Amino acid sequence: IDKGTDLAVLKIDANTSQFVAVTLGDSNKIKVGQLVIAIGNPFSQSFSVTTGIISARERIIPSQNAQFSIPSVIQTDTAMNPGNSGGPLLDRFGHVIGINTQIMSHGGSNVGIGFAVPVAIAKKVVPSLISHGYHAYSFLGIAGLTLRPDVAKINELPNNTRGVLVVDIIK
């Protein structure tokens, strides 16, 4: 399990000839407006399929299970609800471009903003999980914010100051 990306690897002891592998796509080539298909089990309703488009790329969302954020996430308007997590986000050719992870909702149900971890991240994390049981991340050890002009002014810094404001040092 990698809590930082909400990805996991399962070992299944079964005859592998019973399974057909999906084709992994290239999430680096996706475009806003592109048609996508989400597969999952929303509200325990098995084998559910919804369609939509990619609404945005390169979103950063907080990890539900770790202290870090998940970078480069795909935003989609496909109807995702509790139970879609872990299902594939497919392009129109049936290639996996993401793994459904969470929705943005104040009421717990879909309001048109779902997120998927790009398959490019999964291609880095999954082999590490298989070989080591974990994925190691580089870590700077700070919590910071982008230094916006209003924050620079409050801190009596020159108007053109850019960078990161260190808010906390993390053990």
- pLDDT 10s digits, 114-141: 999 999 999 999 999 999 999 988 778 8
DSSP β-bridge partners for residue 6: none
Q: What is the mean pLDDT of the chain?
A: 88
Residue 108: what pLDDT? 65
Q: Do 70 and 117 form a contact (C-beta atoms < 8 A)?
A: yes
Q: Which residues of the chain have pLDDT under 50?
A: none
Residue 98: what pLDDT? 97
Please give the C-alpha separations between residue 43 and each of 49, 75, 83, 85, 113, in angstroms, as whole numbers. Answer: 13, 21, 6, 11, 17
Percent of the chain clearing pLDDT 90 (strictly above): 42
Residue 93: what pLDDT? 96
